[in-house]
Amino acid sequence: MKISKINNQKLSLLGSISLGTGVMIGAGIFVLMGQIAELVGDLFPIAFIAGALVVGFSSYSYVKFSNTYPSSGGVAKFLTKAYGPGTLAGSYSLLMYVSMVVAESLVAGTFGAYTLRLFPKEYAGYASVLGVFLIVLAYIINISGNKIIEATATLTAIIKVIGIALLAISGLVISGLPTITGNFITTNSQTLPDGFGFIAALALAILAYKGFTTITNQGGDIKNPHKNVGRSIIISIVVCTIIYVILALSVSGALTIEEIIIAKDYALAAAAKPVFGEWGSILTIFLAIIATVSGVIASVYSASRMLGMLGNMKQVPNLNRIKKLKNPSLIFTVSLAILLTILFDLTRIASIGAIFYLIMDIAIHWGLFRRLKKEVKFNPIIPIIPIIAILMDVIILGAFIYMKYLNDPFVLIVSAIGIVLIFLSQYIFMKSHTDEDGNMHMGMDMDEHKMMK
């Protein structure tokens, strides 16, 4: 989402929180609810609480980075500070970039899944076509200018946050507080040890919160950035946790686990029908459409901007120097998102995004603890938090990879190929920018550096 200075005024803490929650409470929640329920049964509301706990530990590193190095560079700036300009920083930044593009594809696929609920069942196979249509629409809006991007993103963000909150609260009030019995009977129960699916499901729950990383990009546009970026991250996570848990309890009270799993890709619409009737289901579908449109527009902008930043930082080839194309970083981002939408279903898209994000997240924590602990002010009482975050990420990632090995190894093959290609291409690119003395001429030119501020 574009965050600009209007009349040279800085973004307030409240404004930052509003924008942050607008990105975080995205369309992914419309489809992740069903995917998580498929893994953990009727404990899926607790999975969102556990996911928030993991993200809470994870956010510590981002808060410390943001307070010390506030800038518009966000995660890419943090990784460069931690590892120096080179193969590692570029590779981890690209993992973040690809996870953002995967999120676009997930949101676009969700748009297709919910929109098709308005049409007869024989059109069920056209979800990916509708997803591609939305990505193309987001591209058109993004090349139309920042004012149109801001107006569209702001309006839809307000509607979706208020709409999802009202849906969650009213649904919970009408359906009543559900009883959480601890039933792990899911489609994976025969192949996974007891409780193992719950740990693996946290990889997906974390995706519902990963939008908080976009708040780190506000460092150049917010008042008192050395404090307010971190505050915005913490408050946004708390707000989203409350809404997610209430929403999960609402769905759990309206549908059985079997019904949620059957309606996995459109669980919220299915849950609204028995509580609010047919009109409630239709309104939920339109809310999902608004949320997905908003999410894709914001994600396309953010991801293409990050790719452009990496080009300016000379961590990747600078596509924006291709004069024959208008915004080539945007074109590349949209093309990759379209390819993912066509090739993979929603479950696989979410899985690939979770793997890429968790690897990048581990790199952030290790960079803070191992390489920058002398530069970044640690709380003397709790300096071990980045290590706890790493352990949590490793356990969750390991469980998730094992689950996919048993149930869908194709996801692991695609993820492994993607990771190898990213690191290999980064190594080759960096070698091409190394002189005879072994010095890498990286970093930004002065004019490009001004663009980051």
Q: 235 — phi, psi (to 5°)?
A: -65, -40
Q: Is the pLDDT of residue 129 over 80?
A: yes
Please identify which residue in the block is written with the tokens 């009109």. Answer: 279
Q: Is the pLDDT of residue 417 over 90?
A: yes
Tens-digit pLDDT profile for residues 161-179: 787 777 777 777 776 655 5
Tens-digit pLDDT profile for residues 292-301: 887 787 778 7
Q: What is the DSSP letter of 437?
A: T
Q: Is the pLDDT of residue 394 over 90?
A: yes
- The reported pLDDT for the residue numbered 448 is 41
Instruction: Report angle CA 14, 107, 144 to the nearest 5 degrees.
Output: 70
Q: Mean pLDDT across the stretch 289-294?
A: 81
Strand partners, 209: none
- The reported pLDDT for the residue numbered 412 is 95
> What does 284-296 look like in DSSP terms, one character per residue?
HHHHHHHHHHHHH
Q: Is the pLDDT of residue 393 over 80?
A: yes
Say which range, 40-49, 82-91, 289-298, has the weakest mean pLDDT. Answer: 289-298
Our measurement of the distance from residue 239's CA atom to the centroid of its chain's CA atoms, rounded to an integer in Å, reads 16
- The reported pLDDT for the residue numbered 188 is 46
Confidence class of residue 180 from pLDDT cuts 50, 70 and 90?
low
**Can you give the pTM of this predicted structure?**
0.81
Query: Which of 260, 229, 240, 234 shows the shortest CA–CA distance to 43?
Result: 260
Confidence class of residue 154 from pLDDT cuts 50, 70 and 90?
low
- Per the model's pLDDT, the better-predicted residue between 409 and 156 turns out to be 409
- The reported pLDDT for the residue numbered 185 is 44
Question: Distance (Å, rounded) from C-alpha 29 to C-alpha 246?
Answer: 12
Q: CB-based burial of residue 181 (10 Å sphere; 0-12 exposed, 13-18 middle, 19+ buried)?
A: exposed
- The reported pLDDT for the residue numbered 3 is 42
Q: What is the DSSP letter of 177?
A: P
Query: Which of 340, 417, 348 shows the shortest CA–CA distance to 104?
Result: 340
Three-state secondary-structure class, residue 122 = helix
Tens-digit pLDDT profile for residues 94-124: 998 898 888 888 888 888 888 888 887 777 7
Q: What is the DSSP letter of 315?
A: S
Joined together, the tokens standing for residue 447 give 């004019």
The residue ranges of every structural domain in the chain are: 13-452
Question: Distance (Å, rounded) from C-alpha 44 to C-alpha 29?
Answer: 12
Please identify which residue in the block is written with the tokens 């193992």. Answer: 196
- Per the model's pLDDT, the better-predicted residue between 298 and 240 turns out to be 240
Tell me the CATH number for domain 13-452. 1.20.1740.10
Tens-digit pLDDT profile for residues 441-450: 555 443 444 4
Q: Mean pLDDT across the stretch 329-354?
A: 89
Region class of 194: left (phi > 0), else alpha (psi between -120 and 50), else beta: beta
Q: Is the pLDDT of residue 39 over 90?
A: no
Q: Is the pLDDT of residue 46 over 80?
A: yes
> What is the rounded end-to-end Cα distance, in angstroms, of the chain?
16
Q: Is the pLDDT of residue 34 over 70?
A: yes
Query: Which of 165, 136, 164, 153 shows the shortest CA–CA distance to 337?
Result: 136
Question: Distance (Å, rounded) from C-alpha 220 to C-alpha 218?
Answer: 6
Confidence class of residue 421 from pLDDT cuts 50, 70 and 90?
very high
Q: Is the pLDDT of residue 37 over 70?
A: yes
Say which range, 134-148, 235-249, 382-396, has the weakest mean pLDDT. Answer: 134-148
Question: Distance (Å, rounded) from C-alpha 321 to C-alpha 317?
Answer: 9
Q: Mean pLDDT across the stretch 376-385?
A: 67
Question: Distance (Å, rounded) from C-alpha 196 to C-alpha 11?
Answer: 43
Q: Mean pLDDT across the stretch 411-428?
A: 92
Query: Which of 102, 96, 389 shows the shortest CA–CA distance to 217?
Result: 96
- The reported pLDDT for the residue numbered 176 is 63
Instruction: Report angle CA 94, 95, 99 to the nearest 5 degrees.
Output: 115
Percent of the residues in the chain that have a pLDDT greater than 90, as a whole number: 14
For the chain, the average pLDDT equals 78
Query: Which of 260, 256, 231, 268 shows the shortest CA–CA distance to 25?
Result: 268
